[in-house]
């Protein structure tokens, strides 16, 4: 039986493990999904698989490369015809093993996990409906991270696969806090836990051992996507969704006022807002 139809939402990285799981569940609930993906062939395969399960699903694919400001701006320009949109889910992320730079000259993890989503979010704001929500994917790794004043300018010697990733996730928490406080946007963050996807394959010698010992205890992509799905379907704001519940964003993040203020101003300056 077809679900009641709702409006349109954007899910970045919709062809990945958690992205495809979130896309399938939101489609099942009657939402039209704009699958914003860099790999169009993979996205098309995911779309076909979902349609086999959910024939009434409304799924459209749009190309988006979060490592390119030009690609983001082009995507936003194409989305003008879709306004007003109901929600934006910043799901896409990377965990590269080696240091590299985006097309705009930023370290890749920083560009894809933080600057790209920030530019997309700020640019999409005029296209979101009055009651629209934004959900940003974060990580438990943010609890061990820090945002230093050289956050945007660290070079190859400063790069560390896991630490750099964690720092970008903490930055996304700070950005989410500032966005709600300063712009009055309804925004929530979602922590999927440790999820059994290709992202946790670090490209190291111990990966086969990890597959045997560690992966069986990881969340499935469907379980990892559940907090974000709950957030997308919620009227709450300023909440951290994890598992099947949500709570206020922890004080340890909210109390970092100076870091939040510095990051907000520096981010907007670098993005030209």
pLDDT tens per residue across span 28-58? 999 999 999 999 999 999 999 999 999 999 9
Residue 104 and residue 69 in contact, taking contact as beta carbons nearer than 8 Å: yes
| Residue 195 predicted with pLDDT over 70 | no
Helices (H), the chain: 17-28, 40-53, 69-79, 108-110, 116-124, 161-183, 207-213, 221-232, 251-254, 257-271
pTM: 0.91
| CATH number of the domain located at residue range(s) 8-271 in this protein | 3.40.50.720
Residue 11 to residue 15: CA distance in whole angstroms: 9
Interatomic CA distance for residues 193 and 138, integer angstroms? 9
What are the residue boundaries of the structural domains of the chain, listed by start? Answer: 8-271
d(CA 113, CA 59): 24
- Give the pLDDT confidence of 65-112 residue by residue, as tens digits: 999 999 999 999 999 999 999 999 999 999 999 999 999 999 999 999
Find residue 36's DSSP bridge partners: 12, 62
Q: How confident is the model at residue 4 (pLDDT cuts 50, 70, 90)?
A: confident
Q: Give the sheet arrangement for strand 187-191, strand by strand.
A: 58-63, 32-37, 8-12, 85-90, 128-137, 187-191, 239-242, 245-248
DSSP class of residue 56 equals T
CB atoms within 10 A of CB 144: 11
Whole-number average pLDDT of the chain: 92
């Amino acid at each position: 039986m077809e679900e009641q139809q709702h409006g349109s939402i954007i899910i970045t990285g919709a062809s990945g493990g958690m992205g495809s799981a979130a896309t399938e569940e939101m489609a099942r609930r009657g939402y039209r999904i704009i699958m914003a993906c860099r790999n169009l062939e993979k996205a098309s395969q995911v779309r076909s698989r979902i349609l086999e399960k959910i024939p009434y699903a409304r799924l459209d694919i749009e190309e988006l490369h979060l490592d390119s400001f030009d690609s983001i701006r082009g995507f936003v320009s194409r989305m003008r015809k879709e306004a007003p949109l109901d929600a934006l889910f910043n799901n896409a992320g990377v965990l590269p093993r080696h240091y590299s730079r985006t097309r705009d000259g930023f370290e890749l993890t920083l560009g894809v996990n933080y600057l790209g989503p920030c530019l997309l979010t700020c640019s999409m704001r005029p296209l979101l409906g009055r009651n629209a929500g934004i959900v940003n994917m974060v990580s438990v790794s943010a609890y061990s991270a820090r945002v230093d004043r050289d956050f945007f300018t660290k070079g190859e010697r400063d790069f560390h696969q896991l630490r750099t990733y964690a720092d970008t996730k903490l930055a996304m928490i700070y950005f989410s806090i500032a966005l709600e406080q300063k712009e009055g946007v309804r925004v929530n963050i979602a922590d999927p836990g440790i999820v059994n996807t290709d992202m946790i394959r670090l490209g190291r010698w111990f990966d086969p051992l990890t597959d045997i010992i560690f992966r069986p205890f990881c969340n499935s992509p469907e379980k990892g996507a559940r907090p974000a799905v709950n957030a997308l379907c919620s009227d709450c704001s300023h909440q951290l969704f994890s598992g099947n519940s949500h709570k206020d964003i922890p004080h340890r993040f909210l109390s970092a006022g100076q870091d939040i203020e510095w990051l907000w101003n520096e981010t907007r300056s670098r993005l030209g807002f």
